[in-house]
Amino acid sequence: MQSAPRSGCAINAAVEVLGDRWSVLVLRDVMFGDRRHFRELLAGSEEGIASNILSSRLKRLTDQGLLRRAEARRGQRAQYSLTEAGIRVLPVMVALGNWGLDHRDGDERLRVRAELLRDGGPALVEAMMDELRETHLGIPRPDPDAPRPSEQLREAYAEALGDQRSGSR
């Protein structure tokens, strides 16, 4: 149910889908937090997204072809998965993270993943996209024995959290 963009400009077309902060943050939490259910996204939001906003953004991202919602039977939770179009937003997220690292202050615990992706360069971003394809689309990673980028990101976050806790004592 994609709506027609206001103009034929490719940047405009992308901004009409990704220009809303909540949409970008929902995609971030699906990509980096592996939050794939409504309640996980709601409870895990660092920014405190309201349930009606989350519901609206999930519907919009699904309608725009960035997420797919698996039908849930009665009593089950619906699961959201990234589509290929959603996975291909990852380099945009990395670019936004790089800009934020360069031009904004922030909590070290929350900056560490962006730093790792920046420092890992295109190879790490591509490996992360391969892992997202495996997780969300069922496409095996080209090198199944390679370290998982999500584990590297999780370890870096845990280390930053530990450093932050020990530094505050």
pLDDT in tens, 135-152: 999 999 999 999 999 999
94 and 162: one domain? yes
Instruction: Look at residue 76 and tell me whether its pLDDT is greater than 90.
Output: no
Whether 17 and 67 map to the same domain: the answer is yes
Tokens read off for 90: 């990852």
163 with 128, same domain?
A: yes
Q: Are 74 and 96 found together in one domain?
A: no
Full residue range of the structural domain in which residue 58 is found: 10-82
**3 domain residue, yes or no:** no
| Model confidence at 168: pLDDT above 60 | no
pLDDT at 165: 63
Answer with the one of 56, 82, 108 that is the final residue of a domain. 82
